[in-house]
């Protein structure tokens, strides 16, 4: 940016125009003009000013050359720029993000573990990776893979894969199997796909009893019948009974929160928390984790981190419940036990609860009547396993 003043401004402008000097942002400044030009134009403008008797003054300098002259003596700045470029180049030589695409049946964690064992993980040195070898190892280790491709884009590694078509479940009909009762009950319905039904609706069955036999009889009309073995299959629905017991004290201790809260900050090294600012007291308080973060770059996580824990202080008060309140709570808990036992695979038809009230507690014994599937497959010569979840009541007790 220059300022030109004098009594021959017209001659100056004409000469500059004749010598192809380019000016911009021209503005009047007192008796002269203020304008901008290039470094080459400055030299020509100085010549024109000297020839025409005008005064030329440089007001400011801008652009890369001027900035270079300004910062060229700041050694720390240039050293920092070189170090930054070197660190940036060094970091670009590692894999920081690993993405797996295309897996549906295979668990991503197992694929990541296999890749890490082969050397591909967040923080791996890119030049040490052999993509072709890792591709062959993945195909050899996971038989459900039909195609694998590993690609590096900067610091991101992408594993693309295609899974094979899932093979249908094959039932070996040559191995003789019976359908036996998993527990005692009264048969409500039976449907045999293969095998010979040995019970009918209304029959009382016991645990381990054969419901659908693998023994079948075949033959054509006019010929002798023959016996054969098959893998029995079907569904048997029965009414069953289970018994649960639970007791509840009439007096108990309850937490009453005071409303006082504190935040505990801790430095993390792996799984160890190092408290920097220890709270005043930690008795009678609940610890609730607010956040836990580790230093990371991409998918690579470093062992150093920071966590925040909320401390909620409380007092303990002794309270009591009536026998009726205890009965209501016990009924809810026992019904929930029955629902958890069925897991949505049966129906709770009825529940009868017997209560025993003592001086310090109430005891409840519940007998649940349920409708559920009791058939289970058992190979010939193999004992049926028990499923001890509560107490199975033998029919007729």
Q: Where are the domains of the chain?
A: 2-67, 94-163, 177-237, 244-250+321-374+381-392, 251-320
Please state, in angstroms and rounded to a whole number, the distance separating the CA atoms of residues 238 and 181: 9
Provide the CATH number for the domain formed by 2-67 in this structure: 3.30.70
- Reading the block at residue 42, the tokens are 């400055």
Q: Per mean pLDDT, which range of 170-184, 246-260, 350-364 is the poorest?
A: 170-184
What pLDDT is attached to residue 65? Answer: 74
Q: What are phi and psi of 92, to 5 degrees?
A: -70, -10
pLDDT at position 344 is 78
Percent of the chain, pLDDT > 90?
A: 45
Mean per-residue pLDDT for 273-289? 76
Residue given tokens 């300022």 in the structure block? 3
The confidence score (pLDDT) of residue 279 equals 65
* CA nearest neighbour of 15 among 55, 60, 40, 46: 46
d(Cα 87, Cα 93) in Å, to the nearest integer?
10
The answer to whether residue 29 scores a pLDDT higher than 50 is yes
H helices of 53-178, in order, are 64-71, 75-91, 108-117, 131-141
Q: How confident is the model at residue 67 (pLDDT cuts 50, 70, 90)?
A: confident
The answer to whether 266 touches 301, Cβ cutoff 8 Å, is no
Pairwise pLDDT comparison (395 vs 78), residue with the higher score: 78
- pLDDT band at 6, cuts 50/70/90? confident
Strands 251-269 and 300-320: antiparallel
Measured CA distances, 84 to 15, 155, 297 (Å): 49, 17, 17
| Alpha-helical regions (H) of 307-364 | 323-342
Check: pTM over 0.85? Answer yes or no: no
Query: What token pair was written down for 214?
Result: 């693998």
**Interacting residues of 47 by C-beta distance below 8 A, sequence separation 6+:** 19
First and final CA of the chain: distance in angstroms?
109
Write down how long the chain is.
397
Query: What per-residue confidence (pLDDT) applies to 388?
Result: 45
395 vs 365: CA distance, rounded Å: 18
Each residue's pLDDT tens digit, 86-98: 999 999 999 999 9
- Tokens found for residue 227: 């016996």
Question: Does the pLDDT value for residue 278 go beyond 80?
Answer: no
CATH topology of domain 94-163: Ubiquitin-like (UB roll) (3.10.20)
Tell how far CA 150 is from the center of its chain: 23
Question: Taking phi first (over 0 means left), then psi (-120 to 50 degrees means alpha), and beta for anything else, what does residue 113 get?
Answer: alpha
Radius of gyration, alpha carbons of the chain: 43
């Amino acid at each position: 940016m220059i300022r030109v003043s004098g009594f021959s401004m017209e001659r100056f402008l004409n000469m500059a125009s004749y010598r192809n000097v380019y000016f911009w942002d021209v503005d009047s400044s007192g008796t002269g003009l203020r304008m901008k030009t290039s470094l080459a134009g400055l030299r020509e403008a100085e010549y024109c000013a000297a020839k025409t008797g005008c005064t030329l003054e440089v007001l400011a300098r801008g652009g890369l050359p001027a900035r270079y002259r300004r910062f060229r003596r700041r050694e720390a700045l240039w050293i920092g720029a070189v170090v930054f470029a070197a660190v940036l180049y060094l970091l670009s030589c590692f894999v920081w993000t690993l993405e797996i695409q295309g897996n549906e049946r295979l668990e991503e964690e197992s694929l990541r573990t296999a890749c890490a064992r082969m050397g591909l993980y967040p923080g791996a040195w890119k030049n040490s990776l052999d993509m072709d070898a890792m591709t062959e190892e993945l195909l050899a280790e996971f038989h459900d893979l039909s195609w694998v491709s590993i690609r590096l884009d900067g610091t991101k590694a992408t594993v693309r894969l295609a899974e094979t078509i899932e093979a249908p479940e094959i039932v070996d009909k040559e191995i003789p199997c019976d359908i036996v009762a998993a527990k005692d009950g009264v048969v409500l319905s039976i449907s045999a796909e293969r095998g010979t039904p040995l019970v009918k609706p209304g029959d009382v069955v016991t645990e381990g009893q054969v419901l659908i036999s693998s023994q079948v009889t075949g033959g054509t009309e006019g010929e002798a019948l023959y016996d054969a073995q098959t893998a029995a299959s079907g569904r048997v629905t029965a009414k069953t009974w289970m018994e649960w017991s639970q007791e509840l004290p009439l007096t108990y201790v309850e937490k009453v929160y005071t409303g006082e809260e504190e935040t505990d900050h801790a430095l993390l090294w792996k799984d160890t928390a190092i408290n920097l600012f220890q709270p005043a007291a930690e008795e009678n308080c609940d610890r609730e984790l607010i956040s836990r973060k580790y230093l990371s770059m991409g998918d690579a996580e470093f062992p150093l981190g920071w966590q925040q824990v909320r401390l909620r202080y409380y007092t303990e008060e002794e309270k009591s419940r009536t026998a009726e309140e205890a009965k209501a709570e016990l009924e809810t808990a026992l019904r929930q036990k029955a629902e958890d036992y069925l897991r949505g695979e049966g129906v709770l038809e009825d529940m009868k609860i017997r209560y025993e009230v003592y001086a310090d507690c109430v005891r409840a014994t519940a007998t649940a009547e349920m409708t559920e599937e009791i058939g289970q497959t058992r190979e010939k010569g193999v004992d049926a396993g028990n499923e001890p979840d509560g107490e199975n009541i033998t029919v007729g007790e």
